[in-house]
Structure 1
Amino acid sequence: MSDQLYNTRILRLAASIPHQERLEAPQATVQKVSPICGSRVTVDLSLEDGRIARFGQEVRACALGQAAASLVGRGVIGRSVAELAALRDAMRAFLAGSAIDWATFENGRWADLEIFAPAVAFKSRHGSILLAFEASAEAALEAEAKAQAAA
């Protein structure tokens, strides 16, 4: 693979993943696995007033999957369910070749996601990159549904 794909920024992010502790009694837990490479991300989260209040993740992935989990972990607290779904959808579109201006997406909150631009050309890596986004968005939706059912 290209040297620019596994660059220093990606490797630094992969080495510094926040929220690497599983939560006790989360409102939702979702695990996603890439069928191509076997990378796996498990997300636990709880909502408060419709926003992510607690977040934990277990990441067993390649450097790209770890870097994605690092960025998701850095920005997830305080995000709404809809914001996480929009983030997941934007990352899917970006990897599929759509032009996403990360510097303006959500007021630049996710500007660092531009580091995945070299990965667009490597479809086999997309699944691993998307794991943290998909698991987080799905867990948030599940927690929201449980909260609504309990209300």
Structure 2
Amino acid sequence: MTDPLYQAEILALAKQGRAVDRLESPTVTARVDNPICGDRITIDLAVEDGRITAVGAKVQGCALCQAATAVIAEEAIGVPAATLERAGTAVAGYLAGTLGEGDLPWTRLSSFAPVQAVRARHDCVMLPFKAASRALASLEAVSS
């Protein structure tokens, strides 16, 4: 593939993202669709004492969506739920060019640097973060 968006690191992450399975007993689940490109993700989070203990997902989407899912599944385990929320905000800023690589909470997120120049593909990277945010919002609603 010669498209600069799909460099080796993103393709390797996408392969990992395809291997992420749904959780049997998640604490919260959310599904988000991108009607423009047809990507769809269902994300499952297990949360104990405010920390992410497991991540599961079903991704029906492009390599960018799969790759972002892989980063979340790898990096979110053991972190406070708020850190996952902040990661999504940081990625959005990074893709938009308002935040630098040093502002990213997880180094693997810098793999998405080629996506910065292609605004139409930002949503593909952000979809798993939006699903995670929606799932965490439902956790807060249950806790209230």
- State whether TM-score is above 0.5: yes
Partner of 2:122: 126
What is the total number of aligned residue pairs between the two structures? Answer: 144
Q: Select the residue among 135, 142, 146 that pairs with 2:138.
A: 142
Kindly indicate whether structure 1 or structure 2 has the higher relative contact order, using CA contacts under 8 Å at least 6 residues apart. 1
Note the alpha carbon deviations across 1:8-66, whole angstroms, 9 max, x for none. 11111111127722223322111111222111111111210101123210011111111
- TM-score normalised to structure 1 length: 0.85
Structure 1, unaligned runs of 5 or more: none
What is the CA distance between 1:2 and its match in structure 2?
A: 6.6
Partner of 2:72: 72
Note the alpha carbon deviations across 1:51-86, whole angstroms, 9 max, x for none. 112321001111111111111111111121211111
Given the alignment of the two structures, is residue 116 of structure 1 paired with residue 112 of structure 2, yes or no? yes
> Pairwise CA RMSD of aligned residues?
2.0
Contact 2:39 2:124 in 1 (8 A): yes
Take 2:79 and 2:18, find their aligned partners in 1: how far apart are those partners? 16
| Alignment map for 1:88-127 (pairs within 5 Å) | 88-102=88-102, 105-106=104-105, 110-127=106-123
Q: Which has the larger share of helix? A: 2
Runs in 1 of length 4+ with deviation above 4 angstroms? none
Take 2:83 and 2:53, find their aligned partners in 1: how far apart are those partners? 14
Amino acid paired to 2:118: F
Structure 2, unaligned runs of 5 or more: none
Take 1:122 and 1:87, find their aligned partners in 2: how far apart are those partners? 20
- TM-score normalised to structure 2 length: 0.89
Partner of 2:32: 32
What is the CA distance between 1:100 and its match in structure 2?
A: 2.3
Identity of aligned residues (%): 39
Note the alpha carbon deviations across 1:82-116, whole angstroms, 9 max, x for none. 111111111111111213234x644xxx1111111
